[in-house]
Amino acid sequence: GGLAHRGGAVPGWAAEDAVGKVAVVGRPNVGKSSLLNALLGQERMVVNPVAGTTRDSVACGYEWRGEKLLLIDTAGIRRQAAGGEEREELDRAAVAAARVAISQCHVALLLLDAYQGLTRADLAIAGLVTEQQKSCVIVANKADRLHAAAPP
């Protein structure tokens, strides 16, 4: 499977013009699509509190410091889910697409939920990135929820 390209926040250039590909990976609902929307400055990715909203890896053009990048939003990576054969097949396809995005990227942004902390699933996803020998930037998202858990 390839990547679906959604035009991008940078008009007038094709995906082939990108000097780097950045895959945004992580567990479901850690904020991958929300982060990309914030970076792009527009609502390009569908955001929903229901896990599993992003099914395909979707790429958007982005310019940073004069360099053209391809940002790739991926489905949340999780173990096979309970919920019937059809749901499991969708999950397998989504995880396969995320693995392809990791294999094709130059850098992976691994999003973690700062409130939940580092989980086994996060470590497993980091393992997928290192197996492909890709650079990895760890991003702690949802830190705004931490103050509620802090002691007085």
pLDDT of residue 138: 95
Q: Select the more confidently predicted residue: 38 or 17.
A: 38
Q: Select the more confidently predicted residue: 76 or 133.
A: 133
User: Which candidate, 11, 131, 16, 6, places its Cα nearest to that of 56?
Assistant: 6
Helix segments in 1-152, DSSP class H: 32-40, 85-104, 120-131, 146-149
Q: Select the more confidently predicted residue: 7 or 112.
A: 112
150 pLDDT higher than 60: no
pTM to 2 decimals?
0.75
Confidence at 3, pLDDT banded by 50, 70, 90:
very low
16 pLDDT higher than 60: yes
pLDDT of residue 6: 42
pLDDT of residue 111: 94
**Cβ(21)–Cβ(69) below 8 Å:** yes
- Tokens standing for residue 42: 């527009």
Mean predicted confidence (pLDDT) in 25-29: 88
151 pLDDT higher than 80: no
pLDDT digits (tens, 9 = 90+) for 115-148: 999 999 899 889 999 999 999 999 998 887 777 6
